[in-house]
Chain A
């Protein structure tokens, strides 16, 4: 799953069904920004694969590098004072080596993106219908007559209430939930294979969030879409993802199938997050917060970035960057304690869904 750790190397067999075909393959992606406060290492050596139809949640707190990772897949980082390294292979093509024109074709074709704030992503001076039609003409080369019919079909696809009226409305005239549906319709206009969704439900009310999550899951299944879903919310990830990659301080610190992540988190940060998150029926039981605050990305420590907040910290954690350890098939954790914990299962706190 990760290039710096092959399953064979640790005596593991390949997953059943042979190697999955990868739609997206990210290898050692690093992104640095030169700022007044020094070099901000927003993303460091991030690697993962995504197969067609797979839903990956990119989980992490504010500033952990989720959006920068996502934007890198589209080559959307600011052109100046930015250093991007590593490979992003989309259907075998390295997008960092493509000319800007070819990248633009990718953006409207194979990959589309949905943002947190549809109000800023939609153009306020065009109607929703106009914006969908524009996308269709530009990227699909459809004719005017066909375009209107297709726009209407797309609004039906995202289950827009009163679609005809919506086509003629401007973004500010419709509700937040409808704007997000319109955004999704535009993203689907070019029949992408990969949808990048950056916190698409965070700005929505919980009853509307439930609708949009359900819609995205339904569309994903029907259209066989691969999705990378950025979220800071464990609950949202539990609703939508097949797998999750947890980011901390610009790195992926744990990756696992979503059930496995909830059942047996193997990184102290993930574990801490599970304990710190308020759940239903938790009244009267103490919350266990993670002490301290996230790291300064302009002054990352040489060892594990989580070490200063980690309840299990050892001297080695401060000195050396932990490698990715295999915890189970498809489950890796960047923590020095993994071998020890695997050897003596009692040390694996909270295993077995006591949460």
Chain B
């Protein structure tokens, strides 16, 4: 087994909710709880889950844009959470985040050429060289720098803005990209352009991806391995094929069964599960899925089930698979 490029163990983040005149903490949002996973060099690991399950928070924790309450992160053998600020700056060069919202994430007052060159300047690259590299990258992501270089973000379409974001993330030659819903805001025809571009860039530059999306089809398409999150926890992980062919966790099963079939002759018979995901402020005790689970047992309320391997590299956190626990 090759060494992981990125590894997380026991990651936890609970946000305090304050209220009242004294701004005392009233409650905690359990955004991320006990999350552990590995990303090997060259892989694409997909993270899928519904709104509010903690995907973006997890990405921010990995980069220390948010400090975790507990847990460990290693990148390229280095303990990220112990890294001093100067070292952190270097680590963030190698590990870049493409943000969820392409509209909010570009500075409206910078031309896109300057936006892409910006982090090079921050890292001490000479202006002429930075500009040259920015133009080269804009060309690579399909935006002719002679036509688009001097434009401002508002003069671009959503798909073009997302290309700028990708160029900007690549400008420091990172090893790993954390892509937070990189195609969710795009129209389907443009989504395919950006997905193809990301696949090409990955092969060309030997990149490693952590790809976050709520769209199961997209996740299945791009990922080698997939983590399924529900209310801050990973409920199942395995290869994209294993999850597609035999999802084990009742939530994963419901999630896959809820995706439209794209075939008018194979419409859904009945909704796979009832209800909405509960509030992460006071999540259910034990297994957080138990309130919507058809197989819930008394012990599901007592403690969260630990992940158990149902096959090599396929882990499920559910008491239904207890018999395979050793």
Contacts and interface: CB of A to CB of B under 8 A. Distances in A.
Contacts of B66: none
Nearest to B183: A278
Interface string A181-217: 0000000000000000000000001111111011001
Contacts of A177: 275-276
A278 B191 contact: yes
A289 B196 contact: yes
Contacts of B220: 280-283
Contacts of B276: 175-178, 205, 208
A276 B191 contact: yes
B270 interface: yes
Q: Which of A232, A234, A238, A258 neighbours the largest number of chain B CB atoms within 10 Å of its CB?
A: A238
A72 to B, nearest CB: 22
Contact of A205 (B196, B214, B240, B257): B214
A3 interface: no
Interface residues of A, number: 47
A277 interface: yes
Interface in B94-119: none
A207 B192 CA distance: 24
B272 interface: yes
B187 A238 contact: no
Interface stretch (A134-142, A290-298, A326-334): A290-298
Nearest to B273: A207
A238 B260 contact: yes
A235 B259 contact: yes
A320 interface: no
A287 interface: yes
A293 B159 contact: yes
Interface residues of B, number: 46
B5 interface: no
Given A175-B276, A207-B258, A262-B263, A277 B188 contact: yes
Contacts of B221: 278, 282-283, 287
A61 interface: yes
Nearest to A217: B267
Contacts of B165: none
A214 B214 contact: no
A210 B195 contact: no
A249 to B, nearest CB: 13
A62 B277 contact: no
A288 B217 CA distance: 15
A85 B222 CA distance: 46
Given A232-B187, A235-B259, A214 B192 contact: no
Contact of A238 (B50, B190, B255, B261): B261
A273 interface: yes
B188 A232 contact: yes
A234 B214 contact: no
22 contacts: A205-B51, A206-B216, A206-B258, A207-B50, A211-B273, A213-B260, A214-B270, A239-B264, A239-B267, A258-B264, A272-B189, A276-B191, A276-B192, A277-B188, A278-B217, A280-B262, A282-B220, A288-B192, A289-B193, A290-B190, A293-B159, A293-B190
Interface of A: 61-62, 161, 175-178, 205-211, 213-214, 217, 232-236, 238-239, 241, 258-259, 262, 272-273, 275-283, 286-291, 293-294
Given A239-B267, A290-B193, 12 more contacts: A62-B187, A205-B51, A206-B50, A210-B257, A210-B268, A238-B264, A272-B189, A276-B188, A276-B189, A276-B192, A278-B195, A289-B190
